[in-house]
Structure 1
Amino acid sequence: MELVPVLTEDTHSSNHTFTHDLTFDDIDNGGYEIIDVCALPSQFSTSQSRVRVDDDPIMLPLVNVHSSCDLQHVVPVNDYNVSGNIDLTGLPSSDVDIRPSVPTFHNVQTHDGEDVPLEDCVQTVTSTHVQSSAHTNVTPQLRLIDVVERGHVSSHVYASPNGTMFWKPDVSDEFKPSLDVVYDTWEDVVKMYRLYAEKAGFTTRLGTAKKTKTDKTISHRHIMCNRASKPLFRSSNTGATSSLIKRRRRTKSKRVNCKACIRVSPIPGTTKFQIYAFYESHNHSLVEKDNVDLTRKRRNLGFYEQNFIHKLSLNKIGATKAHKLQCAIKGGPQNVRGTATDYKNFARDVRIYIADRDAELVVENLSSRVLTLNNFYFYHEVVDGELRFLFWADGVSRCNYEAFGDVLAFDATYKTNQYGMIFVPFTGVDHHTRSVTFGAALLVDETIDSYKLLLQTFLKAHTKQPLLVLTDQDSSMKSAIKSVFTESKHRLCMWHIMDKLPSKISSEELENTDDLRASIHELVWDLIIEPSTFEERWHTLIASYKLENHTWLKNMYAIREDWVPAYFKDLSMSCLMKTTSRCESSNAMFKVNSSASNTLVQFLMCFDTAIDWQRYHQREAEFASDMSTHSFKTDAPIEIHASVLYTSALFLKVQHEIDRSTNRCIISGTSIVNGITHYKVTHFNPKREIIGDFQVDFNPNDNSASCTCMLFGRLGYLCRHIFIVFHFNKVDRIPEQYVLKRWKRDALPKWVHSIDHRYSADNDEESKLRNDIIDMVVCCADRLRSRPDKLISLRDEISAIKDRVFEDIPNDPPCNKKDAVISGFYGKVRSGPDNVPFVPPNARHKGSRSDKRLVGAREKAVKQHRKGPRRCNECGKIVYDHDSRNCKKVAAAKAAAVAAAAVESAASAAASTIISA
């Protein structure tokens, strides 16, 4: 390569030209001292001088040689075939001896005002010796002042003559960016520089891409240190009209105008890229090893962390607690990717994604299940662009209702979503005596029409009406049930009624309310008395306490047929549920997973999680029934037969009846009428005191039997009185007509427990494979806990596998992008000309107009007397309402109240006197 320097004076002076031939042979001969030069973009220049290589737009860095002039020395990097004239404009006619030291770090000004340091990454050559009328020795050098070792990251620290500090990372050459390498794709460049940054102890960010003015193709792109650029502090307007009156936000900036970067340009005519500039040194310290987990790259959440946050959110665990759990699992925050703030930011991004498309997302989610899941039922209504009604029931729920839908309970619950929509689950009892859900709905209000629509939709999904429907005292529910469930018997929850008794009958009306409450409880909970007996005892009880005119008691007696068990004794399975406690228990189960801040689509997923837990417990009970054998309390063959027929939960109840038949009952009399034997069975308590006599009618021809206690009709299994008659007649097996299908082991088909019907389960092939891989790695690590050498080998093998995977797939796939991950969790809104957007409602349910609920006198009294009385050290009395700190204040308040009452009484008396006069 041959360069021809041309030295020219300013255009206003006489021109002097100095030409010198310089070759690399001259450099090799050692006739010149070494300086650092680097090829830079065309915008580099100063007011005093310019340098060009022929017409090539590349401009080169400055070396300060004199206070009155700048010298630019041009050596194109990695191109030894370029030669040309170097034009130095503005230099005086003087001898200049250029001897910059190595490495040199100078700053030059670009047209956009940026300071760019000369780095030791450039091609080094020998300086030319320019002779003129005078000689100037220039040695602008940096002093090496420290070598910092920070774990696996080390750096050399230099100081300039004016005290500016620079940190040069000490990284192996195999990881450093090279100007000789050609990269196939832009992503390969990014990956290379990020790997180098990780080794060096800093993080990167992408700079702007600049395009040509002609065809708008990218001319060059930058990847820079994340602390590049000058700090930018945003101001927040306080509302003043003048733009000058602004309040600076309390923000921090990581930017310190660091110039470390690489500059990349595409190779013309190809899709490949090449680095044309590499700036290695930083103007800030590098990241310590112990703080690597706080860098932006390590804080970037992967799919594993995002999925972890999502899964825990479905179990009412927020982002902050999710981060704490992850720290506990992985042994500290230093081992966790991302901070608590990053976790919260992802939860925020989820809310932003859902936003106004919430109603459409939940409808699209449920609609897709109709297409992909067998026997899934879904119905919704949109009125005036608002989602007003949702009902859904999957195939398992419909199968459960087919088997256990004889008794149905439902109750409204609130605060499950941020729109105030009322959640109404339908609940029953399965063959393990556990609660089971038949379907669910979201309503916008609790009017009669809304409940009618709900029950009509329920009937379309399940086709048959229940025998018994249990609710609270809601009048809208009652009217809707009467209108829609015409074949069902409606029953009110006994617990809700009896719970009101203490607040309805206070001590002011009756001196001893405890005796009354105990007597009423004993009467209404009697399951075997006749309705006429109940009415007679009720009147006697009310008269004895002189409460014949009590309004609430009169109202409850007027609707006695809707809640007293005596009026339901002839109804099949009438005592399976007497209260809505199962509904409230189910509602509480759903609220365990959900919260009032949830969107609709989030609530749906929380509902799915709760349903999966409910079905898991059902499957667990099913497994226990199939795989366990019970111990027997008697030697009766009928007990063994019962253990084969029934589930474990039901067998324990039947076993109890069989056991009591042998030690608590005796046959005290018999008679035969028309071939039917009538047995009188006397029932004893543990003290051998007679509880009562029951009649059992037994037909020896078909072993049919009935008892006046009517347990079989009320609960669906035989009583102890019938079992003693069976034992007496040597009946060793429970007759088939007394084995209800709903209590048998095979009440449900096996497919209902399939993983395909578990909504929160990762049952797609990709998730199964990921979980299998994780399980295998964990199992291997657990097996090698006491073998550190083997653990090291395992780690190395997994690391090698990781390297191969990342070599095959060097870039993160699009499915791992945050938006793609979130849309994978919550779905997408269907687009098209026929798609009309709609939004969730602003629901107002009963009692929602106040944040405070009404509190009864009983609850107030309980809260007031929750703490026991204690002695006041001031007045010496044992009191509830004060202590020594506020004794005088309370006493003064009481005295003032007494005085005010006295004044009011005196005023009333005086007024009465005046009126009389």
Structure 2
Amino acid sequence: MEEELKPVVGQKFQSLDLVFAFYDVYARAVGFDTRKQGMRKVDDVTTWYYVVCNREGQKKSNEDDQLNARSGFSMKHRRLSRRRGCKASISFKYFSERGHACYIVQDFNEVHNRDMVESEHQHFMSINRPLDDVHQKFILDCSKANIGPILTFKVLKETLGVFDLISCTVGDIRNVSRDIKAYAHGFDLQMVLDDMAKKKEMSESYTYYYEVNEKNQLVTLFWCDGLMKRNYHMFGDIVAFDSTYNTNRSMRAAIEEVLVGTRHRWCMWHVMHKLATKVPNRLLRDDDFKKEFNACVWSDLLEPDEFEEEWKRVVECHGLEDFDWFNTLYEYRQFWIPALFRDFPLGSMIRTTSISDSENSFYKKILKPRANIAEFYLNFNHAVEFQRNSRTTLDYHDAVVLPILATTLSFEKHASTLYTDTMFKKIHEEIVEGNDRCRVLGFSLIEFVDTYKLRDSNRNSYSVSVVDDWQTLSNQGISMFYSFLRRFEGDIEVVRAFVGGVEELGNSLQAGNPTTFASEKRRMIEEFYGMVRPEVVEVHPPNVVKTKGHASSSSSCLISKIEKALKDASRPLRWCKACDEMGHHDFRNCPMLKEMAMEKELEKGKRPT
């Protein structure tokens, strides 16, 4: 190692940052990690700083670990230590020179009691793994895309080529995710509500509503933007709720009470899936039975009385009169037979929970477990953007691709411009079938109204008119625009105000939030969320509950205080760095630290989170 890299007692530096940078360069060259051990401050000015080798000191719980190991306890949190009593250290002292703050090397001990890290392992040292702004931004972007730490590390390796250039580990990437959650802990719900309030100010069509309990904890939250409302208005003829699971049964009762006129329906797939376990094996091998039974229960073309006759015939023909399962299905036929939903608008379209399953599968790929409310809100918005982008992609595909026409009818060509490719295929089948039964005799266009003259196979004539609302409105808008210009042709100020108003309206409809970039860690996390952490929390997140399993299972049953005490007695004690005592906690969940944090929040006048 070159001598100019080695610190010397009395060496001066202009700032503390230069001190750290110089000693880090020395530590990298020698091959050891450092740890900031102590400091003194006077009036917010650091007057003394002490840095040691990361092998300095001894693990406090060494003797306790040995005692627990000899006693036969299983070491669930067995944590190894790097500390070996190394004495290498350096200290810096503050002084003022000509009115400028400076630091001088006060003491320096370069002797280590161990071998240095070998060159092939030095890129694993924490001093060689600083996460710069580029790494931070990349990891945050991967987290936004729901890419986990391991896959993020693999992408970094493929991007940079070799592991030596990655300058971080999977653990470092996990720590970034930890910092993201820590930044929003206790503030996540308030951040979301503040963001919704901003969107409400920007757009009157944005709606959000929430309820809290007596502790100001969230109970319910609902939100939707203008496009969601428009989609519901255009395609909300029928809305399906999946209440299959036990946790959703209360939702079923609430829906029937709030949304009057709803009808509960069983999933056909779940009913038919049980067929294999309920009927005799001889019928499972009978193709005629399968064909007749499926034609009876799946058809939405049968009238209710026709279904009754067909069901009775199938049951009697195959000897199923004494099977309780079939009799029960018949008693509850109003919940699952499509023929009995013919009076309900579009009731024959949704027979299974496949639509809900499809949505669940889609959101499962984008949302992630153990996310806080702010992350869920962020990921949900990304999912909605992804769906809307897919729709725009399909619109582009339909706009540039020429459909295949089966006839020379102008009606078919016109339909191909109105419908998407997927829907046109269904319409196309009806057009081809109708072409054999009905002929187009003529076509006329008068004031944006398309009129078709038709004749069926019985030589009856019909007249059908189609109004193009979009063309009508667009021509009306153009006519109003030119009429205004002609009326105020001589008044330039009125025309300028009119054009400015139209331009402002167009900008407001197309306005978007520009993407910002920041180098600071806090700013990057704020960019990740798209929201700023508030100073005061008025609404708190709800309590975390288990959503898996059942309350009756032994693994999720609540245990008594006696059972908890017995369980704690069988666990090995751990040393807490915060309170410096042995117990069943560590510095992360130490009750003393929680009390101190509560006192600080009360001193600041904040509500404890």
- Pairing 1:565–2:338 present: yes
Query: Judging changes above 3 Å, is the alpha-carbon distance between structure 1 residues 249 and 584 closer, same or farther for their aligned structure 2 residues?
Result: closer
| Structure with the largest fraction of helix | 2
| Structure with the largest fraction of strand | 1
CA deviation map 1:730-753 (0-9, x unaligned):
99x98527x999xxxxxxxx9999
Amino acid at match of 1:816: K
| Conservation of the 8 A alpha-carbon contact between 1:235 and 1:249 | no
| CA apart distance, 1:401 | 1.0
Amino acid at match of 1:536: E
- Pairing 1:334–2:64 present: no
Counterpart CA distance in 2 for 1:307 and 1:377 is: 32
Counterpart CA distance in 1 for 2:163 and 2:104 is: 37
Counterpart CA distance in 2 for 1:593 and 1:840 is: 23
Alignment of 1:723-738 (within 5 A): 725=456, 735-736=465-466
Residue of structure 2 equivalent to 1:379: 209
| CA apart distance, 1:704 | 9.0
Alignment of 1:822-841 (within 5 A): 822=525, 825-826=528-529, 830-832=534-536, 835=538, 837=540, 839-841=542-544
* Candidates 495, 502, 515, aligned match of 1:765: 515
| CA apart distance, 1:584 | 0.9
| CA apart distance, 1:405 | 0.9
Amino acid at match of 1:398: K
Residue of structure 2 equivalent to 1:263: 92
Counterpart CA distance in 1 for 2:407 and 2:162 is: 57
Counterpart CA distance in 1 for 2:200 and 2:457 is: 50
Amino acid at match of 1:392: W
| CA apart distance, 1:338 | 1.0
TM-score in terms of structure 1 length: 0.46
* 3-state SS in 2 of match to 1:532: helix
- Pairing 1:500–2:274 present: yes
Residue of structure 2 equivalent to 1:483: 257
Amino acid at match of 1:626: A
Counterpart CA distance in 1 for 2:421 and 2:89 is: 72
Counterpart CA distance in 2 for 1:735 and 1:848 is: 61
Counterpart CA distance in 1 for 2:458 and 2:7 is: 93
| Conservation of the 8 A alpha-carbon contact between 2:300 and 2:342 | yes
* Candidates 401, 406, 409, aligned match of 1:636: 409
Residue of structure 2 equivalent to 1:391: 222
TM-score in terms of structure 2 length: 0.67
* 3-state SS in 2 of match to 1:378: strand
* 3-state SS in 2 of match to 1:537: helix
| CA apart distance, 1:335 | 1.7
Amino acid at match of 1:221: Y
Alignment of 1:55-454 (within 5 A): 169-170=1-2, 173=4, 183-195=13-25, 197-198=27-28, 204-210=34-40, 218-222=46-50, 224=51, 226-227=53-54, 229-232=56-59, 234-235=61-62, 237=64, 251-253=80-82, 257=86, 259=88, 261=90, 263-267=92-96, 270-276=99-105, 279=108, 283=112, 290-313=120-143, 317-352=147-182, 369-371=199-201, 375-385=205-215, 386-412=217-243, 446=248, 448=250, 451=251
Q: Which runs of 5+ in 2 are unaligned?
A: 442-449, 471-505, 556-609
Q: Sequence identity, in percent? A: 24
Query: Judging changes above 3 Å, is the alpha-carbon distance between structure 1 residues 525 and 275 closer, same or farther for their aligned structure 2 residues?
Result: same
Residue of structure 1 equivalent to 2:497: none
* 3-state SS in 2 of match to 1:320: helix
Query: Judging changes above 3 Å, is the alpha-carbon distance between structure 1 residues 447 and 578 closer, same or farther for their aligned structure 2 residues?
Result: closer
Residue of structure 2 equivalent to 1:620: 393
* 3-state SS in 1 of match to 2:404: coil
* 3-state SS in 2 of match to 1:257: coil
Residue of structure 2 equivalent to 1:647: 420
Counterpart CA distance in 2 for 1:232 and 1:188 is: 31
Query: Judging changes above 3 Å, is the alpha-carbon distance between structure 1 residues 593 and 219 closer, same or farther for their aligned structure 2 residues?
Result: closer
Residue of structure 1 equivalent to 2:318: 545
CA deviation map 1:325-358 (0-9, x unaligned):
3223322322212112222333344455556666
| CA apart distance, 1:583 | 0.9
| CA apart distance, 1:544 | 2.0
Query: Judging changes above 3 Å, is the alpha-carbon distance between structure 1 residues 192 and 363 closer, same or farther for their aligned structure 2 residues?
Result: same
Alignment of 1:656-735 (within 5 A): 656-661=429-434, 665=436, 725=456, 735=465
Amino acid at match of 2:62: S
Counterpart CA distance in 2 for 1:180 and 1:844 is: 62
| Conservation of the 8 A alpha-carbon contact between 1:524 and 1:564 | yes
| CA apart distance, 1:407 | 1.9
| CA apart distance, 1:594 | 3.6
| Conservation of the 8 A alpha-carbon contact between 1:221 and 1:264 | yes
| CA apart distance, 1:256 | 6.0
Amino acid at match of 1:651: F
| CA apart distance, 1:393 | 2.4
| CA apart distance, 1:404 | 1.1
Number of matched residues? 504
| CA apart distance, 1:754 | 7.2
| CA apart distance, 1:267 | 1.0
| Conservation of the 8 A alpha-carbon contact between 1:201 and 1:288 | yes
Residue of structure 2 equivalent to 1:78: none
Q: Which runs of 5+ in 1 are unaligned?
A: 1-168, 415-421, 423-444, 452-476, 671-676, 678-700, 706-723, 742-749, 757-762, 771-812, 853-917
Counterpart CA distance in 2 for 1:528 and 1:519 is: 15
| Conservation of the 8 A alpha-carbon contact between 1:204 and 1:225 | yes
Counterpart CA distance in 2 for 1:593 and 1:848 is: 28
Query: Judging changes above 3 Å, is the alpha-carbon distance between structure 1 residues 228 and 261 closer, same or farther for their aligned structure 2 residues?
Result: farther
Amino acid at match of 2:521: N
Residue of structure 2 equivalent to 1:521: 294
Counterpart CA distance in 2 for 1:337 and 1:753 is: 45
Deviates more, 1:372-381 or 1:231-240: 231-240
Counterpart CA distance in 2 for 1:752 and 1:295 is: 52
| CA apart distance, 1:618 | 1.4
Residue of structure 1 equivalent to 2:384: 611
| Conservation of the 8 A alpha-carbon contact between 2:87 and 2:109 | no
Amino acid at match of 2:156: Q
* 3-state SS in 2 of match to 1:265: strand
Which structure carries more relative contact order (alpha carbon 8 Å, separation 6+)?
Answer: 2
* 3-state SS in 2 of match to 1:765: coil
| CA apart distance, 1:273 | 0.4
Alignment of 1:452-471 (within 5 A): none
| Conservation of the 8 A alpha-carbon contact between 1:501 and 1:517 | no
CA deviation map 1:828-854 (0-9, x unaligned):
66454x8364532536789553499xx
Q: Who wins on radius of gyration, i.e. which is larger?
A: 1
Residue of structure 1 equivalent to 2:602: none
CA deviation map 1:432-475 (0-9, x unaligned):
xxxxxxxxxxxxx5454xx3xxxxxxxxxxxxxxxxxxxxxxxx
| CA apart distance, 1:511 | 7.9
| CA apart distance, 1:590 | 1.6
| CA apart distance, 1:633 | 3.0
Counterpart CA distance in 1 for 2:67 and 2:119 is: 47
Query: Judging changes above 3 Å, is the alpha-carbon distance between structure 1 residues 286 and 591 closer, same or farther for their aligned structure 2 residues?
Result: same
Query: Judging changes above 3 Å, is the alpha-carbon distance between structure 1 residues 548 and 276 closer, same or farther for their aligned structure 2 residues?
Result: closer
Counterpart CA distance in 2 for 1:264 and 1:494 is: 78
Query: Judging changes above 3 Å, is the alpha-carbon distance between structure 1 residues 511 and 480 closer, same or farther for their aligned structure 2 residues?
Result: same
| CA apart distance, 1:533 | 2.1
| Conservation of the 8 A alpha-carbon contact between 1:493 and 1:563 | yes
Amino acid at match of 2:380: F
Counterpart CA distance in 2 for 1:317 and 1:221 is: 40
| Conservation of the 8 A alpha-carbon contact between 1:316 and 1:594 | yes
